[in-house]
């Protein structure tokens, strides 16, 4: 080869650029290929590896997008840029364009969580607060849209930057989703798989609108205050235990708690009443052992008159009738939050089911022990 041939080959090699990006990090999503004055030579070689997409931007406008492969940059494979530049008959000189490489592999184990408690309204427990956290996975599905809408002119865009935006979006949509679900509070923690799938379906279109595909979404835990947990666990036992036995147990616990109240006479009265009931029950148990009558007295003297029939109440819970229960049992159910002030009750003589708060003798459940004013005052 003569000297002029060598010079021509050397110049030819200087005019051919190789445009590629070797990513040695795990967190870079988009990288702008740096060139001196952004000049790219005619016939430059573009290398796009698996898990990458190359995006050409011309003066802020999206031009051509390349998937994995090797390309010689000419007017044939730069149709949009050719139109934007006005190259009607091809080009031979260097041109300016920004080239962004976008990492399209799956970003996994990204964390999300609610920054503050979410307030929900439950039919049985009223207003309650829950928190939630979990993980999600995403990847870039539309590199051009992602560069234009999210990256802008950032030369090195990482998943830390996008995660702050995505976590805010997730927390907002999660709050809306669980609010509209209107599930009993205990089902949020028990149905995290179904709730995760629902949340992903709700959030996916918003992710897609900026070129991101939400691949996975997991709710790892839904937490609530400890006192609420205890109430939910106790409430759940109703379906497993005999309701009548549970009611009697709650009544005994309520009477025991009231009897320990040193500051009021109501507790003492209930304690005395409980003592009378126990005495009567034990007396009834002991009478058969004593032969039915005290020696020297007629049998008729040992038989007390019939006890007055206590008032029995029926109550509605979850659209189902329950009962009958006594006044004390009903009071225990109210104290245990099995029923509330708006629960419907009925007793013999009432024309229709009536909210508990409107039944005169049951208003004492609601609190307020101040007597009415004396007549004439």
Q: Per-residue pLDDT tens for 299-334?
A: 445 677 776 778 899 999 888 899 899 998 998 888
Residue 207's pLDDT band (cuts 50, 70, 90): very high
pLDDT for position 161:
85
In the block, tokens 């003569």 appear at 2
3 state SS of 231? helix
125 contacts 337 by C-beta, under 8 angstroms: yes
Rounded Cα–Cα distance for residues 44 and 83 (Å): 19
| Nearest Cα residue to 16 out of 42, 54, 38, 51 | 42
Higher pLDDT, 298 or 148: 148
pTM above 0.85, yes or no: no
- Cβ neighbours of residue 197 under 8 Å, at least 6 residues apart? 217
Rounded Cα–Cα distance for residues 304 and 281 (Å): 14
143 contacts 211 by C-beta, under 8 angstroms: yes
Strands 344-347 and 313-317: antiparallel
Tokens of 54: 């190359």
Neighbouring CB atoms inside 10 A of 44's CB total: 20
Over residues 222-230, the mean pLDDT reads 80
185 contacts 130 by C-beta, under 8 angstroms: yes
Largest CA distance in the chain: 148
Does residue 358 have a pLDDT over 70? Answer: yes
Q: How is domain 107-225 classified at the CATH fold level?
A: Tetrahydropterin Synthase; Chain A (3.30.479)
Tell me which DSSP letter residue 292 carries: S
pLDDT for position 262:
53
Tokens of 14: 């200087």
Tokens of 40: 């790219």
Neighbouring CB atoms inside 10 A of 39's CB total: 13
In the block, tokens 């050409």 appear at 56
CATH 3.30.1370 is the classification of domain 241-274+310-366: no
Per-residue pLDDT of 39-89, as tens digits, reads: 788 888 999 999 999 999 988 889 999 999 999 988 888 889 988 888 776
In the block, tokens 């805010």 appear at 168
- Cβ neighbours of residue 201 under 8 Å, at least 6 residues apart? none
Does residue 185 have a pLDDT over 70? Answer: yes
* Angle at CA of residue 123, ends 246 and 118, nearest 5°: 120
Query: 297 φ, ψ to 5°?
Result: -120, 145
Rounded Cα–Cα distance for residues 3 and 1 (Å): 7
Query: 192 φ, ψ to 5°?
Result: -65, -30
pLDDT for position 38:
61
The ranges assigned to domains in the chain are 12-103, 107-225, 241-274+310-366
300: buried, middle or exposed (CB in 10 Å: 19+, 13-18, 0-12)? exposed
pLDDT for position 368:
57
Does residue 370 have a pLDDT over 70? Answer: no
**Per-residue CA distances from 10 to 6, 14, 61, 74 (Å):** 6, 6, 35, 21
Rounded Cα–Cα distance for residues 261 and 9 (Å): 103
Neighbouring CB atoms inside 10 A of 104's CB total: 20
pLDDT for position 244:
65
Rounded Cα–Cα distance for residues 360 and 305 (Å): 29
């Amino acid at each position: 080869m003569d000297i002029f041939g060598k010079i021509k080959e050397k110049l030819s090699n200087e005019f051919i650029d190789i445009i590629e990006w070797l990513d040695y990090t795990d967190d870079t999503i988009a990288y702008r290929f740096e060139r001196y004055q952004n000049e790219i030579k005619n016939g430059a070689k573009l290398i796009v590896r698996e898990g990458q997409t190359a995006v050409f931007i011309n003066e802020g406008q999206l031009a051509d997008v390349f998937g994995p492969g090797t390309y010689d940059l000419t007017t044939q494979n730069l149709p949009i840029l050719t139109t934007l530049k006005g190259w009607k008959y091809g080009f031979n000189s260097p041109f300016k364009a920004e080239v962004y490489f976008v990492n399209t592999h799956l970003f996994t184990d990204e964390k999300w969580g609610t920054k503050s408690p979410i307030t929900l309204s439950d039919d049985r427990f009223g207003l309650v607060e829950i928190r939630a956290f979990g993980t999600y996975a995403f990847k870039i599905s539309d590199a051009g849209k992602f560069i234009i809408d999210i990256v802008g002119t950032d030369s090195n865009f990482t998943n830390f930057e996008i995660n702050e935006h995505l976590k805010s979006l997730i927390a907002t949509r999660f709050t809306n989703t669980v609010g509209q679900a209107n599930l009993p509070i205990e089902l949020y923690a028990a149905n995290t798989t179904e709730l995760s799938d629902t949340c992903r379906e709700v959030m996916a279109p918003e992710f897609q609108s900026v070129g991101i595909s939400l691949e996975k979404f997991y709710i790892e835990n839904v937490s609530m205050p400890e006192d609420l947990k205890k109430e939910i666990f106790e409430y759940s036992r109703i379906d497993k235990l005999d309701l009548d036995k549970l009611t009697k147990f709650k009544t005994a616990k309520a009477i025991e708690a009231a009897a320990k109240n040193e500051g009021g006479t109501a507790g003492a009265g209930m304690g005395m009443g409980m003592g009378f009931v126990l005495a009567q029950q034990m007396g009834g148990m002991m009478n058969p052992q004593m032969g039915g009558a005290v020696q020297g007295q007629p049998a008729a003297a040992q038989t007390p008159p019939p006890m007055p029939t206590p008032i029995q109440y029926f109550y509605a819970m979850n659209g189902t009738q329950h009962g009958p229960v006594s006044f004390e049992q009903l009071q225990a159910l109210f104290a245990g939050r099995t029923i509330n002030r708006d629960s419907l009750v009925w007793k013999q003589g009432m024309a229709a089911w009536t909210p508990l708060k409107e039944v005169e003798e049951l208003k004492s459940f609601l609190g307020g022990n101040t007597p009415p004013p004396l007549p004439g005052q």
